[in-house]
């Protein structure tokens, strides 16, 4: 049995009055999700362990069964793994967004959809200027390095930096004043740490806040931003580091589940690439995969089908619904959910439904167990992640259905799996043979 997880990032939501007090999953036209729920078994999954922020790094690694108390190191090290940056034991890697500041407020966390090529220009400029700034070098030495990621999502590595910081994810605070949200030291966590870093938490926070201030001076006058403003686009005029940590230690899935001999991850998001890499999955790049509503849905579906012919386990991640939720765009989020159903799930199911069936030309192929779920809610009314349990379905030819006939937050509460947490989902999924 092959195993495929189709992950609609941020797809879950709250009931909305304008939709007749339905959630988006309840309102959207999703015949294939509903069919798979009817053919399979459903439940709810707590993807955010107690004490952790409902970030995608927590939720996605939890879906794969990793205990956050053992592996969590923040987004930064996952970004590093994704782009192939090898971290030394004393390197603190921290996610580095390029954001748009408008006066005293954070206008948005993505600069109105910065292109990767634009981000690369700005990050390289920061490496040339800010990493070699005389004041920075005089106070701290040559200890910082900027690395290009994808779109607005990049990486900052601070050698000897402390991870014990209180940072605010920029997508949590649209239109909020930015100065009160600057980095602060987590002195309690630092005091409880087993070994000190070269820089204290206070020194690291001061350094990062200085980098933020200086980045605004450097980026605001960059020709690329002057051009963006002239074209009516949001300027990419500030860095915003958050979610730092050290090199994580994650056991590969092949060492946890003997039935997985090889696996693959398909995503446009560095964070998920990093999780996949650390979990021992090969990363598949799909041309035109953007992480936005205009991603190459068909290309991702085809890549998943090709991977299923050679690999035992495939993790297919679609970011679009999460971005629409952060934007507070109801109609766009509805469209992304329907796109997932019609342009990803439908072609995959129509292809694999005959795999392993005697008397067909697909009889020689292994059947496929399919799971569909979000990682966390990103309610359009809230515009950021929440920690409520999410619905999931598991469908396979060998699996006896439960009584649920629709895929949504309410229906799946009645599913046979009940409420799962920690590694309960992945173990239930991998037990399907």
- All structural domains of the chain with their residue ranges: 2-71+250-430, 81-245
Mention the CATH class of domain 2-71+250-430: alpha beta
Beta carbons within 8 Å of 258's beta carbon, 6+ residues apart: none
Containing 123, the helix (H) or strand (E) segment is helix 116-129
Indicate the pTM of the whole model.
Answer: 0.83
For residue 292, the model assigns a pLDDT of 85
Q: How far apart are CA 272 and CA 267, in angstroms?
A: 7
For residue 379, the model assigns a pLDDT of 98
Burial tier of 336 (Cβ tally within 10 Å: 0-12, 13-18, 19+): buried
68-82 residue pLDDT tens:
999 989 889 988 998
Using the 8-state DSSP alphabet, how is residue 384 labeled?
Answer: S
For residue 67, the model assigns a pLDDT of 96
For residue 150, the model assigns a pLDDT of 85
137-186 residue pLDDT tens:
999 999 999 999 988 999 999 999 999 999 999 988 999 999 999 999 99
Angle at 204 between CA 202 and CA 208, to 5 degrees: 120
Helices 116-129, 201-220: inter-axial angle, 10-degree rounding: 110
User: How confident is the prediction for the chain on average, in pLDDT?
Assistant: 96
402-425 residue pLDDT tens:
999 999 999 999 999 999 999 999
For residue 156, the model assigns a pLDDT of 98
Q: How far apart are CA 37 and CA 337, in angstroms?
A: 16
The model's confidence at residue 90, banded by pLDDT at 50, 70 and 90, is very high
Share of the chain above pLDDT 70, in %: 100
The model's confidence at residue 335, banded by pLDDT at 50, 70 and 90, is very high
348-397 residue pLDDT tens:
999 999 999 999 999 999 999 999 999 999 999 999 999 999 999 999 99
206-265 residue pLDDT tens:
999 999 999 999 999 999 999 999 999 999 999 999 999 999 889 999 999 999 999 999
For residue 224, the model assigns a pLDDT of 97
For residue 113, the model assigns a pLDDT of 78
Q: How far apart are CA 92 and CA 76, in angstroms?
A: 8
Is residue 169 within 8 Å of 55, Cβ to Cβ? yes
For residue 291, the model assigns a pLDDT of 85
Task: Name the percent of the chain in helix, strand, coil, to the closest 5.
Answer: 40, 20, 40
């Amino acid at each position: 049995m092959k195993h495929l997880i189709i992950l609609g990032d941020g797809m879950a939501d709250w009931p909305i009055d304008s939709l007749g007090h339905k959630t988006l999953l309840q309102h959207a036209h999703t015949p294939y999700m509903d069919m798979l729920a009817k053919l399979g078994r459903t439940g709810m999954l707590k993807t955010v362990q107690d004490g952790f922020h409902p970030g995608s790094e927590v939720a996605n690694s939890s879906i794969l069964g990793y205990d956050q108390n053992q592996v969590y190191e923040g987004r930064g090290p996952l970004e590093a793994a994704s782009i192939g940056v090898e971290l030394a034991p004393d390197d603190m890697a921290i996610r580095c967004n390029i954001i748009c500041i408008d006066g005293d407020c954070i206008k948005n966390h993505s600069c109105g959809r910065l292109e990767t090529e634009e981000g690369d220009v700005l990050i390289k400029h920061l490496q040339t200027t800010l990493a070699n700034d005389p004041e920075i070098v005089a106070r701290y030495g040559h200890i910082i390095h900027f690395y290009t990621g994808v779109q607005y999502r990049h990486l900052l590595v601070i050698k000897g930096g402390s991870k014990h910081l209180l940072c605010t994810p920029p997508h949590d605070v649209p239109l909020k004043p930015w100065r009160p949200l600057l980095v602060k030291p987590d002195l309690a966590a630092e005091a409880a740490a087993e070994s000190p870093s070269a820089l204290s938490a206070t020194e690291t926070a001061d350094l990062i806040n200085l980098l933020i201030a200086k980045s605004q001076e450097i980026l605001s006058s960059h020709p690329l931003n002057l051009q963006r403003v002239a074209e009516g686009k949001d300027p990419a005029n500030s860095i915003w580091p958050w979610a730092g940590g050290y090199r994580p230690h994650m056991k590969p899935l092949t060492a946890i589940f003997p039935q997985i001999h090889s696996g693959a991850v398909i995503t446009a998001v560095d964070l998920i690439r990093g999780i996949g890499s650390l979990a021992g999955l090969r990363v598949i790049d799909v041309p035109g995969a953007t992480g936005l509503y205009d991603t190459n849905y068909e290309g991702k579906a085809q890549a998943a089908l090709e991977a299923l012919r050679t690999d035992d386990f495939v993790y297919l991640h679609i970011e679009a619904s999460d971005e629409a939720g952060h934007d507070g765009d109801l109609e766009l989020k509805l469209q992304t959910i329907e796109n997932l159903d019609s342009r990803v799930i439908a072609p995959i199911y129509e292809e694999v439904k005959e795999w392993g069936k005697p008397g067909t030309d697909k009889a020689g192929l292994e059947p496929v167990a399919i799971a569909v779920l979000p990682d966390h809610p990103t309610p359009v009314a809230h515009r950021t992640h929440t920690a409520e349990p999410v619905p999931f379905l598991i469908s396979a030819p060998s699996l006896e259905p439960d009584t649920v006939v629709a895929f949504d937050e309410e229906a799946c509460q009645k599913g046979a799996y009940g409420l799962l947490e920690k590694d309960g989902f992945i173990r239930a999924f991998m037990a399907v043979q």
